[in-house]
Amino acid sequence: MLDIKFVRENPDIVKQNIKNKFQDEKLPLVDEVIALDGERRAHIGAREQLQADRNRISKQIGALMGQGKRDEAEEAKKQVAAFAAKLEEESKLADEAEEKMTAILMRLPNIIDKSVPIGRDDSENVEVERFGEPVVPDYEIPYHTDIMESFCGIDLDAAHRVAGNGFYYLMGDIARLHSSVISYARDFMINKGFTYCVPPFMIRGRVVSGVMSFSEMDAMMYKIEGEDLYLIGTSEHSMIGRFIDQIVPEGNLPYTLTSYSPCFRKEKGAHGLEERGVYRIHQFEKQEMIVVCKPEESMEWYERMWRYSVELFRSMDIPVRQLECCSGDLADLKVKSCDIEAWSPRQKKYFEVCSCSNLGDAQARRLKIRVKGADGKTYLPHTLNNTVAAPPRMLIALLENNFQADGSVKIPASLRPYMGCDVIVPKK
């Protein structure tokens, strides 16, 4: 959410930012919110003037009584009483204007970083760098669920009977591989100095609206019927929500946290061959990294965080590339974002496995998270998040890139302490 003072003083910048994100339908909102801000400030000014007048007249009552001017004192009392209704009305009008203003500010996109490429959608994202040599072997790589089935490692039919589409049972070596990836990703981040956390898997509505835009909420979140609770789509939501309404000492920054959780997503509009299997599902597990830091340090952390993803995937012999997200592909709260994509030797292309984002002070402003500086003044911190490992997609990359001609799957050296073997062999 943008600061209303910034919008008031920089309307042209806000409008150009909206155009850069190809959301021209939101352009009228800028003038509308500025007008509402003017109304709000006018009502606040009128209220303050009324309070000053009431206080001035109230002080006169005692003096009038002391002078024996009872009639004038009684008249002054009536005036003071009349101020109450006017004050209540001005306060009500100011609150109404602020409520409308806040609702609009929640819809305006955050100001994107100058380095973000301008583009309409993800088709215009820009490849920045590749890490590792993408290889296509001279033997066929089966579809990922076929690989899993050869190990008796997945049951989609049973999951469909139990929960419907978008769910799965993992079993045997594939389930072990899934857990090994999560455990390795956890320890990888702990070794980077991050604090391991297991957060609540449900959050209240105010936290949801504080960490994401309304359009994202509608597309992703499952609501618990009859309660002010939502199932989390990623542990970032719980982890940032942990600081809601808090003033944290500057000396505690940065918070560097890595959290495990199941994730629940509606995944509206998921279609096509690659949506089959476990590529896009309603429930999965994930290891996440979250940073809360000083504003001047956030871009440094952004660079560090996406490079951690590259290092993790390369340690499992998976080639990856970094893809800079263009303006139209950025969610409204994001200042800058990039995807890490893993190589698929079966598809002969890359696919998304991690998303690293700098959200500036947007989440902190919405959730009223503040930092108390050494000078005693408070300011808003910046928040960042990045996927460490989401095993359904990571499993696809891991299985395809380590699949061998005889149908076995080589276990990368980094995972062998967790799996207890060098290779897994198909059961059928």
Q: How many domains does the chain have?
A: 2
Q: Are 35 and 163 within one domain?
A: no
User: What pLDDT, on the 0 to 100 scale, is given for residue 308?
Assistant: 98
| Residue 35 pLDDT class (50, 70, 90 cuts) | very high
Q: What CA–CA distances, in Å, run from 180 to 69, 277, 370?
A: 88, 20, 37
Is the pLDDT at 64 greater than 50? The verdict is yes
Q: What integer pLDDT is reported at residue 324 of this predicted model? A: 98
In this predicted structure, the answer to whether residue 65 has a pLDDT above a threshold of 80 is no
Whether 111 maps to a domain, the answer reads no
Q: Do 300 and 357 belong together in one domain?
A: yes
> Does residue 76 have a pLDDT over 80?
no
Q: What pLDDT score does 50 carry?
A: 87
> What is the amino acid identity at position 1?
M
The reported pLDDT for the residue numbered 275 is 53
Place of tokens 């560090």: 304
Q: Give pLDDT tens digits for 77-100.
A: 777 777 788 888 999 999 999 999
Q: Give residue-wise pLDDT tens across range 246-293.
A: 999 999 999 999 999 999 998 755 444 445 678 888 999 999 999 999
- Sequence-distant (6+) residues with CB within 8 A of 423 are 404, 408, 409, 410, 411
pLDDT of residue 336: 98
More confident residue, 80 or 353: 353
Final residue of a domain: which of 105, 137, 165?
A: 105
- Residue 110 within a domain: no
Claim to verify: residue 129 and residue 26 sit in the same structural domain: no
Sign of the torsion angle spanned by Cα atoms 237, 242, 247, 253: negative
**Same structural domain, 320 and 349:** yes
Listed range (132-141, 278-287, 371-380, 392-401) with the worst mean pLDDT:
278-287
What does the alpha-carbon distance between residue 133 and residue 117 come to, in Å, rounded to a whole number? Answer: 26
Residues 176 and 97 in one domain: no
To the question of pTM greater than 0.95 for the whole model, the response is: no
114 occurs within a structural domain: no
Cβ-in-10-Å burial (0-12, 13-18, 19+) of 135 comes to exposed
Average pLDDT, the chain: 93
Question: With bands split at pLDDT 50, 70 and 90, how would you rate the model's confidence at 45?
Answer: very high
Asked whether residue 327 carries a pLDDT value surpassing 90, the answer given is: yes
The per-residue pLDDT for range 293-317, each reduced to its tens digit, is 999 999 999 999 999 999 999 999 9
**Domain containing residue 349: CATH number:** 3.30.930.10
- The whole domain housing 325 covers 122-424
Domain boundary among 52, 80, 105: 105
329 found inside a domain: yes
Residue 112 lies in a domain: no
> What is the C-alpha separation between 141 and 313, in angstroms, rounded?
19
* pLDDT per position as a tens digit, 136-182: 999 999 999 999 999 999 999 999 999 998 899 999 999 999 999 99
pLDDT at res. 273? 41
Lowest-pLDDT range, 45-59, 104-118, 390-404, 407-421?
45-59
pLDDT > 70 in the chain, percent: 97
pLDDT at 271: 47
Asked if residue 14 is part of any domain, the answer here is yes
**127 and 100 assigned to the same domain:** no
- Domain endpoint, select from 105, 133, 153: 105
Between residues 69 and 290, the one the model is more confident about:
290
Pair (182, 227) in one structural domain: yes
In a domain, residue 113? The reply is: no
- Does 128 share its domain with 86? no
The pLDDT assigned to 12 comes to 98
Quick check: is 115 in a domain?
A: no
Task: State the Cα–Cα distance between residues 156 and 81, nearest whole angstrom.
Answer: 72
On the question of a cis peptide bond just before residue 345, with omega within 30 degrees of 0, the verdict is no
Confidence of residue 13 (pLDDT cuts 50, 70, 90): very high
* Whether residue 91 sits in one domain with residue 140: no
214 and 95 in a common domain: no
For residue 58, what pLDDT is reported? 73
202-220 pLDDT tens trace: 999 999 999 998 777 778 8
Q: Judge if 336 and 403 occupy the same domain.
A: yes
Q: Are 27 and 19 in contact (CB under 8 A)?
A: yes
Q: What pLDDT is recorded for position 174?
A: 97
Regarding whether 82 and 29 lie in a shared domain, the answer is yes
